[in-house]
Amino acid sequence: MKPILLPAFCLLAFCPRLALAAPSIYDPSLGTLPDAQGFIRQQNPIGQIEPTIVDGTLRQGLTFFDGIQCWNGVGSVVDFNGAVPFELIARLKVQTSTFISDIGDQTHRYGYYIWMSAGDGRRLALGISSFSVAFDTQFKLGDTNPAPVGLDTSSFRTYRVLAGDGRAKLFVDGILKIDAPLGPPDVDIARNEVFFGDYTFAGQSQTELAFIRFGPRCPCDLNGDGLVDDSDFTIFVRAYDTLDCTDSTMPAGCPSDFNGDAVVDDTDFQVFVLAYNELVCP
């Protein structure tokens, strides 16, 4: 017989800590700039408008077209070959962000970039303009990159990147927009870095960033919005009540079965509760 599901707080004190890799997060709702949360600012030239925190979001810009203002999570663990996919989630609103299709090297240039370089030398860049999104996965002259996808970026949207098994996927508000092969490793790039902001000297942007998190995919974030909260709890409880991963009503892939034993039971619940308590993956 299945045990009764207890409220999360009843079990918190008794759950052992799981040893999972720490994700990297920038959370403006804490009231501080990325500089105060472990990220290193890169800004050029002097005279850029100073970023501010307003209503829990990081406001940038309008940045200089021929300058940069971005932050680097130096030493972040970026692994595109891990047992679980690399995941990056950012919630962003764009007032304005430029787009250039090709400045001679066949890569795109966006006013707002999220740039990831993995430990194996592979690169992946997500560009977000006022009217489109794109991946750059190839950085050698003559290589082609996936075409940009039209998108109204002027309201807050959740951008979710998954990279693993040789492919990169972009979901926007839960809908798959781009699915492209990752490029080959480069020998001459800095590794394990994630930049966000105006990262290019050939673009400018004005944006509001509400959240960015990256690291190994967080299994407990069942709706893929970067947090582990009541919305995920609702999804988990439904799977817990169903129990059997082979049940036809279970979501495809049985995502709530965190330990892979084909049932969603108390063992999975203990994993979920740890993340729920932290609001993000432990």
- List contacts with Ca ion (CB under 5 A): 221, 223, 225, 227, 232, 257, 259, 261, 268
Q: Which pair of structure tokens corresponds to residue 169?
A: 């996927």
β-strands 86-97, 68-72 pairing? unpaired
Q: Among candidates 241, 239, 265, which has minimal Cα distance to 252?
A: 239
Cβ-based nearer residue to Ca ion, 136 or 221? 221
H helices, E strands: number in the chain: 3, 17
Cβ-based nearer residue to Ca ion, 91 or 109? 91
Q: Which pair of structure tokens corresponds to residue 170?
A: 């972009």
Cβ-based nearer residue to Ca ion, 59 or 160? 160
Reduced DSSP (H G I as helix, E B as strand, rest coil) percent helix, strand, coil of the chain, to 5:
15, 35, 50
Instruction: State which amino acid sits at residue 122.
Output: R
Backbone torsion region of residue 142, taken as left when φ is above 0, otherwise alpha when ψ lies between -120 and 50, otherwise beta = left
Q: Which pair of structure tokens corresponds to residue 33?
A: 């700039």
Task: Give me the least distance between CB of 223 and Ca ion, in Å please.
Answer: 4
Cβ-based nearer residue to Ca ion, 193 or 268? 268
Cβ-based nearer residue to Ca ion, 95 or 223? 223
Task: Give me the least distance between CB of 158 and Ca ion, in Å please.
Answer: 10
Q: Which pair of structure tokens corresponds to residue 242?
A: 């169903």
Rounded to 5 degrees, what angle do the CA atoms 220, 224, 228 make? 40
Cβ-based nearer residue to Ca ion, 26 or 199? 26
Using CA atoms, how far apart are residues 47 and 195, in angstroms rounded to an integer?
21
Would you say 78 and 194 are in contact if contact means Cβ atoms under 8 Å apart?
yes
